[in-house]
A and B are shown apart, each in its own frame.
Chain A
Amino acid sequence: MADDVTAPAAASSATSTVARSAGRAKARPADRRPGGGRDERGAARGRAGVWRKRAEIALFVTPALALLVAFVVVPVATAAQMSLYRWKGFGPMVDFVGLRNYVSVLTNEVFTDALVHNLIIVVGSILLQLPLGLAIALLLNRRMWGQGLLRTIIFVPYVLAEVIAGVVWFQLLQPQYGVIDTMLEAVGLQGPDQGFLGTPEYALWTVLVVLTWKYLGLAVILFLAGLQGVPEELYEAAQLDGASWWQVQRRITVPLLGPTMRTWGFLSMIGSLQLFDMVWILTGGGPANATTTMATFLVNEGTKRQNFGIAGAASVVLFVVALILAVAYQQFVLRRDNDDAPRRRARRAPKEVER
């Protein structure tokens, strides 16, 4: 359930820039090697060439770097700076409190609960969406009538703006007057008295269901794309060997879909950690703080209560949590893909960019 595709996309393009420039740096000595016996003029020309190259790199990298600094590095640094002060959003920032804001955030039950909610959503959305997405992708990969239409329908929730989807679900889930309660009543059932979103015990699970509905399309589309990369010959060979449909899926499709699933898992995890808009619209973090996330906590503290120091500390904690999980995921899950043979990496790279 990637919350914001642009962020991971930007991230992957950033790494590909890094990879590419690293490749280029390595390529330089390689070109130079045959010119080892050049005369001095040649060497001077080579030096000039190096400088030209550097200027070129600087020219092309500067705009992106400037944007990154202005919109990512500076805000992050400001948040970190803010986290050390008590500041209400106006006037000079002078009330230095050291790490007190961090203590207050980490001992705040609302924040630790929010962190737990985030983790439940990280795990929950992967557990729900992976099997569902895989099953639907396998189904939709078969030649059948209305295939294109079905694919589109599955993908529609993902295309809808978060806010619109949130408002629609909020209305559907209204207790008593909502469509879902009315439908339940029609078949003789009764929803929870205070509604699905109004009952603290159900609210988080309800949000998780809505998130699954919203982001399942992304998983399905990615898996379908991954399925296109599985060579037809393998299926044919398996069929010649007498493998059943199930065996083909288990032994060929799913293992070859591994890299796609792991990448999707990464996107989903980051989206779950950042989760804000859907929760904000559906419950605002309520009832009784049953659905707060780290993002709603820091918005509440920052813009509502104007405790910018606390919000800054919370955002730094969110940053650290996201960093640890992202690096751990890279190290333990995506590493298998990163260590793959270069040929396979090369094949996957363009797919990542497409996304």
Chain B
Amino acid sequence: MRGATAVALGTTVALLAAACAGQGTANQPDSSEDADASTITWWHNSNTGDGKKYYEEVAADFEAEHEGVTVEISAMDHEDMLTKLDAAFQAGDSPDVFMERGGGELADHVEAGLLKDISEPAADTISTLDAYMPGFQVDGASYALPFSIGVVGFWYNKALFSEAGIEKTPTTMEDLYAAFDKLDKAGIVPVSVGAGDKWPAAHYWYYNVIRECSAETLDAAIADVDYSDPCFVKAGEDLEELIATEPFNKGFLTTPSQSGATSASGLLATGKVAMELAGHWEPGVMQGLTEDGSGLGDDTGWFPYPSIPGQQGTEFAQMGGGDAWAVSQGAPDVAVEFAQYLLSDEVQKGFAELDMGLPTNPTASSAVSDPALAELLEVRDGAPEIQLYLDTLLGTSVGGAMNDEIALLFAGEATPQDVVDAVQSAADAEQ
């Protein structure tokens, strides 16, 4: 009896310990056939200020044009939205129009039957977005309309660069290392990286892969689940070389990417480091991290990731990603029309004018007002190809394993071959 009590107590405690672990249900997605064909539920993450108001106007305009149609908007914080989307997918009750990031995640959603194939009904819009579509297609069918696509590059502090005597932004790795040297000599920490969050560190490896491997090699590797091409190891070796020059902020292994003044973005925003590899979101993040809300202000500069001598990858190819409007399987047909409307010239122009993102509709590009973003947009529009972030492209499972291993490489605890092996074995496990 006493032993039983002991076991009971032990079990209860262990149960409680494990209960936090197991959550989530396995409901079948009943592809929520919307009974009411004239109501569109729309989830987005522009939940503050002008952006929110703008999207309300957009919805109202659409309603005015389509009699009897109501658009129900849920504007929420980005992280909240992701959590709620996951829950909605699990419950089989997804909104009609929502944001997708493309790549492996989108492919998983397609496989689970969550997304509507919009190749036919949205053909016209898709034809204008050709350059960005590959990340949002599965087996030739299109499942989402990219509305904001950015590319990753170095954001830098113009004042610190001129203080260190750097006149031209680096275009090759040699130039970049020379810039590191000059900054070091001037007593300025060259680069911050949020390796604590892993993906900011992983972006270096992705870019090296895009430089070292040709697009065909990468596509074939993903399709055949075979990462044995030597260019992948080469990418890691290039990264080791870069890490060996010790350009990063102190404690970068646990530095977060965007939260607080001591994060990678915070260090750049407060003039503690000269540059950081980041995407188009960086000016916005830096503005949020400085007291006067201006970030680096006029000192904000941007240059693309340098090229590597002897690279196999296409010159000026860029890596990036962004958001697309997807329509769920059970949504009414008018939802597809609404998604297309969101990509129309007028809606995208307004979107660009408010600096809500980097419009994909070519007619809206000129409407972007921020000079640094305009520079980035020029590079994006001039890029022969835009490769999706590799972790997004490969899906969360492989992407996570890859990012963890790259973080270990930054810590000097993994070799370039280890990274490739981690990707290979995670990809094999998916088969």
Contact = CB atoms under 8 A, between A and B. Distances in A.
A80 B19 CA distance: 11
A307 B6 contact: no
A22 B1 contact: yes
Contacts of A273: 17
B251 A8 contact: no
Interface residues of A, number: 81
A82 B24 contact: yes
Contact of B6 (A73, A104, A330): A330
B254 A14 contact: no
Interface string B79-109: 0000000100110000000000000000011
Interface string A174-212: 111100000000000000011101101001000000000
B294 interface: no
B144 to A, nearest CB: 16
A322 B109 contact: no
User: How many B residues are at the interface, by size bracket?
Assistant: 35 or more
A289 interface: yes
B12 A197 contact: no
A87 interface: yes
Contact of B407 (A194, A288, A315, A331): A288
A335 interface: yes
A288 B408 contact: yes
A322 B13 contact: yes
Contacts of A350: none
Q: Summarize A's interface: helix, strand, loop or mixed.
A: helix
Contacts, number: 205
Contacts of B20: 274, 295
B16 A91 contact: no
Contacts of A141: none
A95 to B, nearest CB: 11
A333 to B, nearest CB: 11
Contacts of B26: 78, 81-82, 87, 92-93
A82 B27 CA distance: 12
A318 interface: yes
Contact of B413 (A14, A200, A316, A319): A200
Contacts of A314: 21
A300 B407 CA distance: 14
Contact of B251 (A73, A176, A311, A330): A176
Contact of A195 (B23, B24, B108, B254): B254
Interface string A313-355: 0111011101100110111001100110000000000000000
Interface in A246-269: none
Contacts of B134: none
B252 A194 contact: yes
Interface in B112-141: 112-114
A298 interface: yes
Contacts of B250: 175-176, 193-195, 198
Nearest to A77: B22
Contacts of B14: 319-320, 322-323, 326
Interface string B1-39: 111011111111111111111111110110000000000
B2 A195 contact: no
Given A87-B26, A200-B413, A339-B2, A79 B253 contact: no
A323 B7 CA distance: 8
A11 B17 CA distance: 11
B178 interface: no
B396 interface: yes
A198 B22 contact: no
A87 B251 CA distance: 36
Contacts of A300: 400
Interface stretch (A44-52, A122-130, A224-232, A279-287): A279-287
Given A22-B1, A288-B253, A307-B397, A316 B6 contact: no
A89 B89 contact: yes
A78 B197 contact: no
B196 interface: yes
A71 interface: yes
B65 interface: no
A7 B10 CA distance: 12
A195 B251 contact: yes
30 contacts: A10-B12, A19-B5, A22-B1, A72-B19, A75-B22, A77-B22, A81-B26, A88-B108, A90-B86, A90-B108, A91-B89, A92-B29, A171-B260, A175-B251, A195-B250, A270-B17, A286-B254, A288-B411, A289-B408, A306-B396, A306-B397, A308-B24, A318-B17, A318-B21, A323-B10, A323-B14, A326-B9, A335-B6, A338-B5, A338-B6
The 6 closest A-B pairs by CB, nearest first: A79-B22, A315-B21, A91-B112, A305-B400, A287-B253, A319-B18
